[in-house]
A and B are shown apart, each in its own frame.
Chain A
Amino acid sequence: MVSILACCANGAGTSLMMAMTLDKVVKEKGWNVSKTHHCNLEEGKETAENYDVVLCPQNFIGIFDPARDKGVKVIGLKNVLSAQEITEKLEASGVPLV
């Protein structure tokens, strides 16, 4: 069971878009995702280590280096509306989705 956090600057815009795209993909693929949440960067920095995966816009990935060092998969998205990009990157991340 995989938990995924979507983060962006405000926590109510881009991260919500990412979370919605993600939910759609998870449903379509039938992935084993136990929890998804979206939030802003401040909250994300604190809570990222509690998740298996963090999704964020490409230019924010450096912010999650501490979480990455603890084993969290940090995935930067160029196109937050793209179900294809989210699918490909999550599948390539190595987390046990099925």
Chain B
Amino acid sequence: MSNNKKIEFSPESLALAHKLMKRYPEGKQKSAIIPILHIAQAEFDGWLSAPVMDYVASILKIQPIEVYEVASFYSMFNLKPVGKCVIEVCRTSSCWLLGAEDIIAHIGKKLNIKPGQTTADGMFTLKTVECLGSCGTAPMLQCGAKYHENLTLEKVDALLDELKREGKRKTYLDKI
């Protein structure tokens, strides 16, 4: 993210944020914090910088610390820059039983990164995550909004190639 980029939601995102805040009784607008942080993360390069969180605090009319507290609790919020495509591989129970370790090792080798790291070209971040509720189609990974299930090493290769060719940022808010 360039340093001089002004931190401000697009008009659509700002309207959506205000619409979300109306879902709660008067005075309880803080409840919209998680949905609004999702919008912020999607809009500002896939992660939540301190200035972005301060901006969210100003929308909700709460203290910045209240936003940091929440953002740091939930695993879907990235507090450091990430690649355009965050590859989140499930490493829990059923996925593990059916080869998640091999999938993680394979992606790591192919991209030359360890879990938690980002490729030099800024395209991919590899992340290991806990059960995503897709155990019947294990092993699986999530990238942006989309679940990729019943993985094989070949499928993973094809997916990474396709994502790279597309070169687009993937977010949880993507319409799929």
Asked if A and B are interacting partners, one says no
